[in-house]
Amino acid sequence: MMQAAVRVFAEKGYHAATIRDIVAAADVAVGTFYFYFPDKETLFVYLYEETAEFLLQTVQQAVVGRATLPKQIAAGIQAYVNIGTFEPAVVSLLLVGGVGTLPALVKGRADFRESLVNIWQQPLDLALDKGQILPQNTRRSAEALSGAIDEVILNLIDQPDAKQQASSAVSDLTQFCLRAVAYTGG
């Protein structure tokens, strides 16, 4: 039911999606829905938090597992692109579906965005300490990278051949990020 709900919310948006749409897509009875969730809002907030945690953990593990800034950025972007191309509804739910939909989601969305920025800032801080990037406000750089990466992935998942474009998107985006933070390799 959860996967069906993510797809329904991504396709129709929160307000247009109905409980009947969700149970039809999941091929379960309405009573099954209400056994687990009291209403659509509770389900949406739950799905948002779960998908955010999944994406954050996946990207964080990819970044932490690499030794150099280029490899950290490439691995993090690759993990994010993989989720986007194989589960586009997840990315749509996080980046589009959660915007301005529910007051209950304002803090969760802010927390998600903050965590994503922190994932990108950590390797930038290390690279700055090692003199591998020019002096800069790594917080602002991480915010800019996060926004740029999100935008490219959102555009990529809208393409009919997203899986074929994924590799070049990762390469292009990695090079863009390294140029944006003035990576010197030193």
pLDDT digits (tens, 9 = 90+) for 94-134: 887 756 667 878 888 889 999 999 999 999 999 999 999 99
pLDDT tens digits for range 16-63: 889 999 999 999 999 999 999 999 989 988 988 999 999 999 999 999
Task: Inform me whether the pLDDT recorded for 186 exceeds 70.
Answer: no
Domains (range + CATH), the chain: 39-180 (1.10.357.10)
User: Smallest Cα–Cα separation from 157: which of 90, 112, 101?
Assistant: 90
Nearest to 27 by CA among 48, 47, 50, 7: 7
What local confidence, expressed as pLDDT, does residue 144 receive? Answer: 97
Give the C-alpha separation, 89 to 156, whole Å: 13
CA distance 131 to 184: 8
Cα–Cα distances (Å) from 89 to 11, 25, 124, in that order, read 8, 14, 29
Partners of 183 in the beta sheet? 133
- The dihedrals phi and psi of 181, each to the nearest 5 degrees, come to -95, 10
164 contacts 68 by C-beta, under 8 angstroms: no
